[in-house]
Structure 1
Amino acid sequence: MAQQEWTCAADSAHVRFFGRTAPQVIPGAVFFNWSGSGFEFRFQGTAAYACLLTDRRGDGIAAENDRAYIGVFVDGEPLQSARFPLDAEEKWYPLAEGLPEGRHTVRVVKQTEVGYGRAAVSAVRVMGAGAPEPTGPKPRRLEFIGDSITCGYGNICTNKNPDFVTREENASLTYMSLLADRLDAELSCVAASGNGIFHDYGGNTVNLIPELYPYTDKMLHGHYGLPPTRWDMRANPVDMVFIKLGANDYPYCSGVYLPEEERTDAALRSLREEFARRLYAFLDEVFSLRGDVPVVYLYEQDMELKPEIVGTIARFQADRPDRRLYGVEIHPKRPQEGVGANGHWSAYTHSRVARELAALVTPWLKPDRQ
């Protein structure tokens, strides 16, 4: 069959986007910044390319250790066929070359998190018999709300105590991606390292997850001096929501940002109570935006704020029996699984958690999706 070059805009006529993606921030491009987001297309041919952009605002690309990394998957294979950093403001990157002539599917995933190098696509190019086409959607959609664990912070690191670099983060090897694969689901993620519900790891209160959640990509729009756009929950429904937050709220709740003389039992109790109130309010907001879907709150056995999390879940369940809220305790890292960067989960821990969750949550999915 005759081969020729086909170059097309990265739009819904030629690719299918997944995750929270942001068009119309810059002309002719679609951003896919959240961990695990991206685009997919199919074509008849032997090679595929994409014009990808990063940090186009006149302030240069991210430093080498902070760059966005992209993973490419071909024909549904579980192992990526390519992984590369975005090292130019705009550049054509090979996605797949030398493929046997025939029908192929290419999936492009942002494997690093929203707070570091940004990623956008403006065009795709194939060598083949026709223009690329969007793939069909998967039968389920899962939404994940979280912090560094959900992003995959340092999950492919070989040294447990380095400074964080994005090349050692891979969202495709997180519990969220592996769980979505097991349930034949598309994922959408709102997660950022160090983030929390009441305060972040550094004690700050700006752009916390409850503030980011209603919007498509609030930090991206702010970077370009634009007002944030709300994410269309109705047009993008999900079948289940997972939340894993609370680890980064603990430093503030422990009083480390208070003068020593103010760290009284009453003051610390008040901080924990406020965290619980904020958690309750966020659960209420998620249900109000997502409607009648199961929400699964994940917490680790050794979390410092576990009593407040468990108590808040129980209180919400008692107050709102019409809402399907589930609390799930996760076993801590096991010695044989190793450790990711700065004590985070390794890819082995992510894999084990995904396997355990798949068996647990399948009965909670909507009947029409099983």
Structure 2
Amino acid sequence: MELKEFCFLPTNEYVKPLGRTFMLDDCRVLSLSGSGVEFKYTGTKLTVTFYGDSTTVTDENVPQPWRDQTRVAVIVDGITQLDTVIKKPKEVFEVCGLDECIPAAEHVVRILKLSEPRMSTAGLGEIQILAKGPAEPTPYKDRYIEFIGDSITCGYGVDVPNELHPFSTGTENVTKSFSYRTAAKLDADFSMVSYSGHGLISGYTPDPNVPKLEELIQPYYDIFAYSYNTFRGLKMEDRSWDFASKRKPDIIVINLGTNDDSYVQQDEVKRQSFGKAYVAFLEKVHSLNPTSKIVVAFGLMGDALFETEQEAVNIFKANSGFEQVYAVRLTPQDPEVNGYGADYHPSPVSHEIAACELSEFIRNL
């Protein structure tokens, strides 16, 4: 087999986009958890270029904010060959060399952003392969699922041994989350729109008398992404998401309410307010995706608001006449058996249990 070197940018000609991404000059912007690309080629060598955002631009008087920088992975034929945090404005990685990692054969490459958008964004630049011919996008799968959620959907803190470890993007891994694992079990394409700490009437708050109104998810659903930092001077939230021209999800899974529960607790007025906000959010999601089934899933970090969410589903169905909306209770995590991730978040085992439950529920729809 005669192999030649091919260099290409991650445009639609060569790659299949995963999740919400867009091309900006010489790179594809990756911000949301699980966003990335997938392609196939027949050959060996693989080199990938990444560009960092403003978290990687420092001077001698400003330490690098390492805990917030983008974590990325390059997965070849289902095996992770690169897992790193982008610490510089430009980094080039030889993922696999001529005589290591992969033989001369057809390979499927998946490049993913493992960490969430709030903390950082990255750009995927030029890709080089030694191959028989140019790279090709992998085909779209029959099923496409979008997940809307919070830290649980992001895979917050799954790569630590216990709950005593603080958050960092280096321990956040969407590929071990219930969302990614559910898509894998259903052999589905996927997109995640998820932000740690966010809710519908309050983000996570240590004081139930003070709602965290700056961490509501509603403003971020119909934009590309939201990040504290900039990429090449651009704010992610300044770019809307073009629902009309994009592939519509077959199913949208919403897992929200865990952070609201820190505010609602046993207060009936707050509970009703949460229910109304959930109905309104269902209306917004449905208006932008009128043909997509919706699954409301809840319970992994407690299920106190599940009945309220079920009521919201029933109210929405009655008001809209759209019947393909469902509610499923996920089994709360059992830390004595399965452990915790960082800050008492679910462990990989707990995520896997939830993925089994959710994928089985979706199969039966």
User: Is the shorter-chain TM-score for this pair beyond 0.5, marking a shared fold?
Assistant: yes
> Cα RMSD (Å) of the superposition?
2.3
Among 111, 121, 124, which residue is 2:127 paired with?
124
Deviation of residue 326 (structure 1)? 0.7
**TM-fit CA distance, 1:218:** 4.2
Residue among 246, 253, 267 paired with 2:264: 253
Aligned position for 1:4: 4
Among residues 231, 253, 258, which one is paired with 1:242 in the alignment?
253
Between the aligned partners of 2:230 and 2:291, the Cα distance in structure 1 is 30
Residue 362 of structure 1 corresponds to which residue in structure 2? 363
Equivalent residues in 2 for 1:46-57 (5 A)?
46-56=44-54
Q: What residue number does 2:36 align with? A: 38
The aligned amino acid for 1:136 is: P
Match of 2:342 in 1: 341
1:244–1:298 Cα contact (<8 Å) kept: yes
Q: How does 1:156-175 map to 2 (within 5 A)?
A: 156-175=159-178
Partner of 1:89: 89
Q: Label 1:58 to 1:355 Cα distance change in 2 as closer, same or farther (>3 A).
A: closer
**Length, aligned pairs only:** 348
The equivalent of 1:303 in structure 2 is 303
* Contact kept? 2:56, 2:88, Cα under 8 Å: no
In structure 1, distance between residues paired with 2:261 and 2:359: 28
In structure 2, how many angstroms separate the alpha carbons of the residues matched to 1:356 and 1:307?
18
- Paired position in structure 1 for 2:354: 353
State the SS of the aligned residue for 2:180. Answer: helix
Deviation for aligned residue 1:32: 1.4
- Which structure 1 residue ranges, 5 or more long, are not aligned? 255-264, 365-370
Q: Which residue of 2 aligns with 1:272?
A: 271
Amino acid at match of 2:282: L
Q: Does 1:209 align with 2:223?
A: no
SS at match of 1:180: helix
Q: Which runs of 5+ in 2 are unaligned?
A: 206-210
| Alpha-carbon distance between aligned partners in 2 of 1:130 and 1:357, rounded to the nearest angstrom | 40
Instruction: Output the amino acid matched with 1:224.
Output: L
Q: Distance in 1 between matches of 2:224 and 2:105?
A: 36
Report the counterpart of residue 286 of structure 2 in structure 1: 287
SS at match of 2:166: coil
Match of 2:179 among 164, 173, 176: 176
Q: 1:58 to 1:306 in 2, by over 3 A?
A: closer
**Structure 1 214/95 Cα, relative in aligned 2: closer, same or farther at 3 Å?**
same
- Native 8 Å contact 1:218 1:229 kept in 2: no
1:368 corresponding residue in structure 2: none
Q: Distance in 1 between matches of 2:29 and 2:174?
A: 17
> Would the aligned equivalents of 1:55 and 1:62 in 2 still touch at CA under 8 Å?
no
Q: Is the 8 A contact 2:303 2:329 kept in 1?
A: no
**C-alpha distance 225-154 of structure 1, shift in aligned 2 (>3 A):** closer
- Alignment partner of 2:363: what SS? helix
Quickly say closer, same or farther: Cα 1:313–1:231, change in 2 above 3 A.
same
Stretch of structure 1 that moved more, 60-69 or 234-243: 60-69
What's 1:103 paired with?
Answer: 106
Native 8 Å contact 2:255 2:298 kept in 1? yes
The alignment partner of 1:80 has SS state of strand
Contact 2:43–2:105 under 8 Å retained in 1: yes
Q: Percent identity?
A: 27
| Deviation digits for residues 134-189 of structure 1 (CA, Å, limit 9, x no counterpart) | 22212211000000001011112102122112222211111111111111101101
1:228 equivalent to 2:235? Answer no
Q: State the secondary structure of the residue aligned to 1:292.
A: coil
Q: Is the 8 A contact 1:243 1:298 kept in 2?
A: yes
Q: Is the 8 A contact 2:181 2:355 kept in 1?
A: yes
Measured in 2, the distance between the counterparts of 1:158 and 1:299 equals 24
Secondary structure at the counterpart of residue 167 of structure 2: coil
C-alpha spacing 1:269/1:352, structure 2 compared with 1 (3 Å): closer
AA in 2 matched with 1:205: L
1:225 shift after superposition: 4.5
Residue in 2 aligned with 1:259? none
Task: From the superposition, tell whether residues 362 and 341 of structure 1 become closer, same or farther in structure 2 (CA, over 3 Å).
Answer: same
Q: After TM superposition, list the pairs within 5 Å mapping 1:5-84 onto structure 2.
A: 5-24=5-24, 27-56=25-54, 59-60=57-58, 63-75=65-77, 77=78, 79-84=79-84
Give the TM-score of the pair, scaled to structure 2: 0.88
One-letter code aligned to 1:145: I
* CA distance, structure 1, for counterparts of residue 10 and residue 215 of structure 2: 29
Q: Quick one: which amino acid aligns to residue 250 of structure 2? A: D
Does 170-179 or 303-312 show the bigger shift?
A: 303-312
